[in-house]
Amino acid sequence: MCDLFNYFDEASVHPASGSVFGQLRKSVPVLNPAPVQPPKGARNVLFLIADDMRPSLPFYGLKEGFAPNLGKLATSGAQFQHAYVQFSYCAPSRQSIITGRRPDATKSFSFMDDFREFGVGNQWLTMPQAFKAKGYYSFGAGKVFHEGVPANYDLPYSWSTPGYVDRGGNATNRCREECCGVPESEQSIWCMWDLEPGTLLPDQLSTATFKSGLGEAAERLRTTGQPFFGALGLHKPHLRWDFPKQFLDNITERVPTARVDSWPNDIPHLHWHECAEMSVGGMWNSEGWGVPPPSQEYQQHARRAYYAAIAYADSLFGEVLDQLEALGLANDTIVVATADHGWSLYEVSRARRGPRRQAASVQPIAPRRPGSPACPAPQRERRLPPLTPRPDPRPAHLAGRRDVQDDAR
């Protein structure tokens, strides 16, 4: 199977060996190794991550979707059909992705705890920190880590830069109608913008900041030969689905609703769990029981807005990929695009994230390594070189297991 572990070879990228993940930040000093000289011929790495983005994308079969930039990345690299997150909430999922450990190791199951807390482990490195320790210039912007966990976006450990930009923006809407005409009953979940020139939504600010950092990293590479690791995190398509109004035009009005929009009658009360963001939408009654889903029209509008928010996120990732091409670095840079988890769009009466349904637990993954053969979905049984040398026996610090056998077996 074409899986991420097997997609790259040793010459492609040189992360630190051993655990790639977390540290203590209290009485025991955080592990912060001094960078070494980067390996000769090491490739640059871009890591792009969206928020709450399930694989509602054309190259995953959604004909109503619009994501040409991610589609181009997927068709020129690899595409994963069955990638599942450890926990379908932002903070614990991101900590698992960036540390390579399950939530029972990171001790993160909500938005309060993180792997840097006392007693978790002082010899872990994060993904960007591992590259930094190997001599890479590490920089990032936006929601890579969930804000506040770990503190200060893990400065100074994960990043080579002295500062970090997330959130912000100065968006001013020129529309005379609130949210450019979005029905008032739906404005709690989506809003369109006709932006005043020179004003930016938060993800646009993060992307602009990241592109500036990418330009600086490219110049550093040119003058010193130092490769870079760059990570950009977008908040969309997280609720509220705010996006420039032109992106709605990319999505047909005839968006089909969920095929199964009713929750099974025999599900126990314990199985219900309120997601705070959707409580404003009247999805639960005062006793914590689910209520019937909204009208088909409401669901259709919500789905169309969600797909438009994905199109907006795709356009921002596209800006970064276009800049990489303009800098002449596309053939020397590994790119990985993914999301922290999915989102339910009224399947079985759900409109939320949460660990109990597949729609919220699956994530898109589209990595591209220059020079490696493409691994599109129809050829997903094709074997590709490994990311790093595979030690035997498998180190205990790596979470999970590989059920895929080598060709020779």
- Give the CATH number for residue 98: 3.40.720.10
Query: Is the distance from CB of 319 to CB of 28 less than 8 angstroms?
Result: no
Read off the pTM.
0.83
3-state secondary structure at position 367 = strand
- Integer Cα distance of 389 and 5 in angstroms: 10
Question: For position 273, what pLDDT does the model report?
Answer: 56
Q: Say what the pLDDT of residue 297 is.
A: 93
Tokens (6 digits) for 135? 């001599």
Residue 326 domain-assigned (yes or no): yes
The whole-number pLDDT of residue 132 equals 95
Query: Per DSSP, what are the bridge partners of residue 345?
Result: 351
| Domain contains 396 | no
- Specify which residues 368 forms β-bridges with: 335
- Residues 338-364 have pLDDT tens digits of 999 888 887 765 555 554 455 667 778
| 113: in domain | yes
Residue 3: its pLDDT value, please?
38
Is residue 282 in some structural domain? no
Domain that residue 203 falls in: 4-261+298-379
Cα separation, 191 vs 181, in Å, equals: 9
Whether residue 108 is contained in a domain is answered as: yes
Distance CA 368, CA 75 (A): 9
Residue 293 in any domain: the answer is no
In a domain, 37, yes or no: yes
CB 88 within 8 A of CB 360: yes
The per-residue pLDDT for 25 is 39
Q: Which residues are catalytic?
A: 90, 146
- Kindly compute the dihedral angle of the four CA atoms of residues 41, 158, 340, 249, in this order, to the nearest 10 degrees: -80
Structural contact between residues 337 and 369, judged by C-beta atoms closer than 8 angstroms: no
Alpha-carbon span 67 to 56, nearest angstrom: 9
Half-sphere exposure of 298 (CA within 13 A, CB side): 17
Task: Characterize the bridge pairing of strands 137-142 and 228-233.
Answer: parallel
Q: Which residues pair with 173 in a beta bridge?
A: 195
Q: What does each C-alpha distance from 285 to 69, 187, 291, 295 come to in angstroms?
A: 41, 20, 6, 17
Q: Which residues contact 146 (CB under 8 A, 6 or more apart)?
A: 90, 91, 94, 95, 111
Query: DSSP letters along 171-214, please?
Result: --B--SSGGGG--GGGTTTEEEE-BPTT---HHHHHHHHHHHHH
Residues 6 or more apart from 322 whose CB is under 8 A from it? none
Does residue 101 lie in a domain region?
yes
Nearest to 75 by CA among 60, 90, 86, 94: 60
List pLDDT tens digits, range 103-117: 888 877 777 778 788
Other C-beta atoms within 10 Å of 403: how many? 7
The residues of the chain scoring below 70 in pLDDT are 1-29, 121-122, 260-292, 348-360, 375-409
Residues 6+ apart with CB under 8 A from 172: 195, 196, 199
Q: Domain count of the chain?
A: 1
